[in-house]
Amino acid sequence: MQRFVDAYLDRLLIEKGLSDNTLEAYRADLTAYADFLARSGIAKPDEVRSHHILAFITTLREKGSGARTARRKLVSIRGFHKHLFLTGGAKTNPASNIEGMKVPLNLPEVLTVAEMVQVLEQPDTTTDIGIRDRAMMEISYAAGLRVSELVGLRMEDLNKEAGLLRVTGKGSRQRLAPMGQEALLWAERYLREVRPRLIKQVLNPYLFPGRGGKGHITRQAFWQKVCRYALMAGLPRIHPHTFRHSFATHLLEGGADLRSVQILLGHVNIVTTQIYTHVSRQHLREVHRKFHPRG
């Protein structure tokens, strides 16, 4: 089965242009699936039946996998078997009658505007690292960036005159993201006062260089810094995408329409963006409870 999996992954890489992270997720899902089938004595796609797929998903859940993880693996498996059927690699599609699993809605973790300001103000801006961290967090929140998008920004992606960022998101799709005045001010200060010292005369195309001025700062390093600043602000440990979730929620609470937020986040499907309306409804219910005479 593994050779069929490898051929499918090659097709995704060439035809779909998926990001490295997405492709690795598919690889992990389908390799685990192929291993399960091998242990079950199944070596060819035409030997797979629907009950084998369901047994794999059931085994995952019994081992502690969450509903969202199991659903993602099922999506990978359905795509794999559909590909085999359409390309002649299998005579039947055993996943065609397996419906997608419904996953309980997990609302994203968000900060209030006041809490966000608290976190943003934590870096010691009398130091080079503090100025850099402040610039990174301001840009992350102002533009609603994924952590991978933030650390991957290049110098050429920043248009200071227009106050825009060119962001490369999932599937190498690009979008333009407004920065806002506050983020732009910190970006300009960082570029003027700090970055020349951080790169140490090394030619580096990235906006936020890594150790020794080489490459870019890692996602893990940025996340660790954000968590530390959140603790300094008296807040619990937060998720790497908390800034992005807060960005979307604050826009909707401020009156932005869902379609505009979808474009700013770089979501292909507006259904992905709609989760934030649930957060905003919570906010509206809280406002009603506090201020309505019958709340």
Residue numbers annotated as active site: 146, 170, 241, 244, 267, 276
Q: Burial, 42: exposed, middle or buried (Cβ in 10 Å; 0-12, 13-18, 19+)?
A: middle
Q: What is the CA radius of gyration of the chain?
A: 23
Q: Burial, 138: exposed, middle or buried (Cβ in 10 Å; 0-12, 13-18, 19+)?
A: buried
Closest CA to 76 of 100, 104, 50, 46: 100
CA 233, CA 43: separation in Å to the nearest integer?
A: 55
CA 77, CA 63: separation in Å to the nearest integer?
A: 19
**Sheet-wide strand order for 174-178:** 158-159, 164-168, 174-178
The CB density around residue 258, as the number of other CB atoms within 10 Å, is 16
